[in-house]
Every structure is written in C-alpha cells, then in structure tokens.
Amino acid sequence: MGQYTVLTITTGTKPLTEKKATKAADAIEIHDTEIYETDAGWTIAGHSKYQPDNLHTIAARLSRHGATVTVSEEWDTRDADTPGTTTTTYRNGEHQPQHDQETHLAPADLHAALAAVRNALDGNGDLITASRWLVDGFDGTRP
C-alpha cells in the first residue's frame, strides 16, 4: 500500500514562501518530494507508505491566511477495498466539506466479476451471488 499526495496551495493574503513550503513538506513526512511555485501559488507533492498522520492539520494551517489548500490523495494500488483518490479542500483554516470528492477504483477482478454476472444472466450461475460480488467489489464491502 502506498499513496501519492499533492497539496495545491492558492496564495492568500500572506504569501507562502519556499522555506515554509519546504517546512510543511518535511512535517507531512512525504518522500520523493517535489515543491514548486505556480502562477497561483505552490504545489507540494510526494509519496508515502501510509496516509501521513498530520497531513490535514498542516493543510488547514497553511490555509489560515485566506489561502485555499486542496489535498489530493491517490492510492497506488488497485485494492478494491480502498478509494482510489480523495480530494479535500481547506480555506481560512477550515475544512470545506462541500468540495470533498472521492473516486473509487474498479475491483481488481472486474472482468471476472462481469463475466460471472453475464453467465448468470444466461442461466449458468447464481445471479444474486454474482451481482452482489460485483457490487461489493465497487463499494469495498466484500467479506
């Protein structure tokens, strides 16, 4: 399990400096870090084995002075039990839940699960079991 994290920071009333961006990246504990300035602000990106514990606390802190901080977390596995990408937004030090997004990955056995449903529709299998396996794979609730 691993994750790729990107913080996009749109400049607020108090501009973020490269030094502060680097300090934030170090505190988040991401590796292979890229920090670069854009026309709108800064981007901090890097990898971690697990979700960094203090990621959202630091994102909220970076947004305190009118900045908007968007956190994108992408899991780099095709594990059906976890989301593929989550996006969280902070503005003025506060979480903005109305902007949150979550995108799930397709189950690793999608083709086999679809084939099982098609077989069952043709009368060669249990349609309820095949359908439940397929749906549970998409929402990550397989036993």
Tell which wins on pLDDT, 106 or 124.
Answer: 124
Biggest distance spanned by C-alpha atoms of the chain: 66
Percent of the chain scoring above 70 in pLDDT: 87
CA distances from 12 to 6, 9, 38, 141, 143 (A): 18, 9, 14, 41, 46
Tell which wins on pLDDT, 4 or 142.
Answer: 4
CA distances from 112 to 50, 60, 119, 140 (A): 29, 42, 10, 16
The model's pLDDT over 35-49, given as tens digits with 9 standing for 90+, comes to 999 988 999 998 887
- pTM for this entry: 0.67
With 50 as the cut, is the pLDDT of residue 79 above it? no
Taking residues 81-89, report their average pLDDT: 75
